[in-house]
Amino acid sequence: MQVKGAAVAEEGVGKKHGFCAACAAFEYNLCAAVSDKAPSNREQRNGGARLVSSVHTIPARRIIRHPKEWSEFVPIICRGWAAVSLAALDGRRQILSFLLPGDCVSTAYAWHSISGYTVEAITDVTYRNFKRDDFKSIILKYPDLFELFSKVWTEEKTQADQLALDLGRRTADERIARLILNLADRLAKRDMMQGRTMEFPLRQRHIADAMGLTPVHVSKVLGEFQRADLVEIKGRSLTIIDTAGLRRAADWH
């Protein structure tokens, strides 16, 4: 499938703004990373360049990227939630990040064939594969697109570093509270919050794998949080009831 300039009207990200999906993705990420600047008009700029990409839809629990795969595509999430993880030899898993619509699995994919990471759909996911070389040259061609990209890149690193701080130095309660607040923030930037309520498709084993804990323990902590009226989890959605309390529990800035 070929995408040229403003030619794509697509579900989720693409649809919303009605221009090139890759740019939309980065605009999203830029918002998340840096400011609230409204997406600008980028159509004519990419008018000349051709960004080859293909859309895929995959059901929940399915693998999007296998750790042994050396792909030459840059995947960007259009709809749904996914998880990027790393595994030790004996199978212990660590989830490095949850991907939301507009997220790139990793900006590193833009430069090199990467392997070792597992990307897994949490909900049904639709994503878009960009050919690395095209992606790369588009980014390098337009300086402010590159600027955007480098911000996303930096933001990605910041997140990774914060994760290390969480895993190394915070208690289970703090970690889980932070995860919730973090997700709430990211969803808010995407207009995916209904007030204080968010869609929350994560299973407790996802939370456990992301925060270096056991599902059993996650259950206990989440139970406490609910009994303390910090949050309410019902069905597959989560409502933050006591923001201040949750922040306190999270040792939030």
Partner DNA sequence: CGGATAGTTGAGTTATCTCAAATGCAGTGG
Partner DNA sequence: CCACTGCATTTGAGATAACTCAACTATCCG
Site residues (vs its own copies, CB under 8 A): 86-90, 92-94, 96, 106, 108, 111-112, 114, 117, 147, 150-151, 153-154, 156-158, 160-165, 167-170, 211-212, 251, 253
C-beta of 47: minimal distance to its own copies in Å? 23
Half-sphere exposure of 15 (CA within 13 A, CB side): 6
Q: Which is nearer to its own copies, 15 or 132 (CB)?
A: 132
From DNA, its own copies, none, which one binds at residue 217 (CB under 5 to 8 Å depending on kind)? DNA
C-beta of 119: minimal distance to its own copies in Å? 13
Cα–Cα distance between 73 and 133 in angstroms, integer?
9
Q: How far is CA 16 from the centre of its chain?
A: 18
From DNA, its own copies, none, which one binds at residue 163 (CB under 5 to 8 Å depending on kind)? its own copies
C-beta of 158: minimal distance to DNA in Å? 23
By the 10 Å C-beta count (0-12 exposed, 13-18 middle, 19+ buried), 101 is classed as buried
Residue (of 196, 204, 190, 224) closest to 13 by Cα position: 190
Q: Which is nearer to its own copies, 89 or 244 (CB)?
A: 89
Q: CB of 209 within 8 A of CB of 94?
A: yes
CA 125, 185, 83, 216 torsion: positive or negative?
Answer: negative
Cα–Cα distance between 88 and 165 in angstroms, integer?
20
Cα–Cα distance between 152 and 146 in angstroms, integer?
10
C-beta of 97: minimal distance to DNA in Å? 19
C-beta of 220: minimal distance to DNA in Å? 5
Tell me which residues in 193-222 interact with DNA (CB under 7 A). Answer: 203-205, 212-217, 219-220, 222
Q: CB of 125 within 8 A of CB of 81?
A: yes
From its own copies, DNA, none, which one binds at residue 141 (CB under 5 to 8 Å depending on kind)? none
Q: Which is nearer to its own copies, 49 or 96 (CB)?
A: 96
C-beta of 222: minimal distance to DNA in Å? 5
The amino acid that residue 240 corresponds to is I
In the complex, the residues that contact DNA under the rule CB under 7 A are: 61, 171-173, 203-205, 212-217, 219-220, 222-223, 235-236
